[in-house]
Amino acid sequence: MLLSSYTLLGLIIGSFLNVCIYRIPLRKSIVFPRSSCTRCGTQIPFYDNIPVLSWILLRGKCRFCKTPISFQYPFVELLTGAAFLVCGLQWNFAPPTYVNTLFLSVTIILIFTDFHHRILPNVLTLPGTLAGILLSPFQDPTVYMDGLSVRIAGLFEYQTAQTVLPWAGSISGAAIGGGILLVVGLGYQKLRKRQGLGMGDIKMMAMVGAFLGWRLTFFTIFTGSCLGLLAGIYLIVFHKQNLQAKLPFGVFLGIGSALALFYGLPFLTWYLPS
């Protein structure tokens, strides 16, 4: 019952994330006014704002002007609901459940704003970094290990070192996450005489490091880079893009951070056995 309610809450939060994705890049309030059709401007009644269900019943069109409603809206709602569901299952409603649903919710907004607008807003990344540090005592302590510690299927635990203080683990993760991309970006700019990474990517990785610690930050950057490389190859081969094509790196970092959250420590335990 609790898991179902939490998943439903995730669907509702997903509807709010859609508002953030649309309004934050436009520097509009995410609270007022009420949601309205972007084409005809008619306010959307509450019964047309039911997550996923309303989109299905309306057949993906505005009730008033029949303008198509992007599939992104139910997709974000379903994605957020799935994030809440998986966090509830993974941490059984212990404090890390709520810390990581917050982290994933902010990450979802960043992924879609970067995809559409090529921006990672400071209003998300900077408070997100602070939140990661302040909430670190409530995070899963395994992310801040000196070594590696992971409980597999709740049956046995693999551990190589003692836990560090969560504050220290979070702050070092933020510093290393942002610092790595800053160094890479400056090096690329010096060599190629043009900007390769934006400050938004650097601030986003500081946030990721604050929530996930430095080891999972490395995993995020590696995974995000691999995904970006694959996307680049796809664009070159199938869409005749050149090597100068700009990719929304925040999208790949966001996906990489989600993979790191759930699979990073088991992967590192397997890859770096004692």
pLDDT tens string 232-243 = 888 888 877 766
pLDDT exceeds 80 at position 152: no
157 pLDDT tier (thresholds 50, 70, 90): very low
The three-state secondary structure class of 163 is strand
Q: What is the mean pLDDT of residues 129-137?
A: 96
pLDDT digits (tens, 9 = 90+) for 204-233: 999 999 999 999 999 999 999 999 999 988
Question: Which of the two residues, 249 and 235, has the higher pLDDT score?
Answer: 249
pLDDT exceeds 90 at position 255: yes
Question: Which of the two residues, 233 and 13, has the higher pLDDT score?
Answer: 13
Residue 196 has what pLDDT? Answer: 64
Q: What is the mean pLDDT of residues 140-154?
A: 63
pLDDT exceeds 50 at position 158: no
Q: What is the mean pLDDT of residues 37-52?
A: 88
* Average pLDDT for the chain: 88
Question: Which of the two residues, 246 and 84, has the higher pLDDT score?
Answer: 84
Residue 195 has what pLDDT? Answer: 67
Distance CA 149, CA 159 (A): 4
pLDDT exceeds 60 at position 155: no
Nearest-CA neighbor of 126 among 48, 205, 26? 205
Decide if 37 contacts 44 (C-beta within 8 A).
yes
Half-sphere exposure of residue 234: CA atoms within 13 angstroms, side-chain side = 7
pLDDT exceeds 70 at position 100: yes
The structural domains of the chain, with segments of one domain joined by +, span 1-78, 94-271
Distance CA 172, CA 145 (A): 12
Beta-strand (E) ranges in 32-159?
149-152, 156-159
Q: What is the mean pLDDT of residues 60-66?
A: 92
Nearest-CA neighbor of 157 among 271, 265, 261, 262? 265
Q: Note if the pTM is more than 0.95.
A: no
Nearest-CA neighbor of 178 among 145, 211, 138, 146? 211
pLDDT digits (tens, 9 = 90+) for 180-203: 999 888 887 777 666 667 789 999
Place of tokens 């759930």: 262
Q: What is the mean pLDDT of residues 76-102?
A: 97
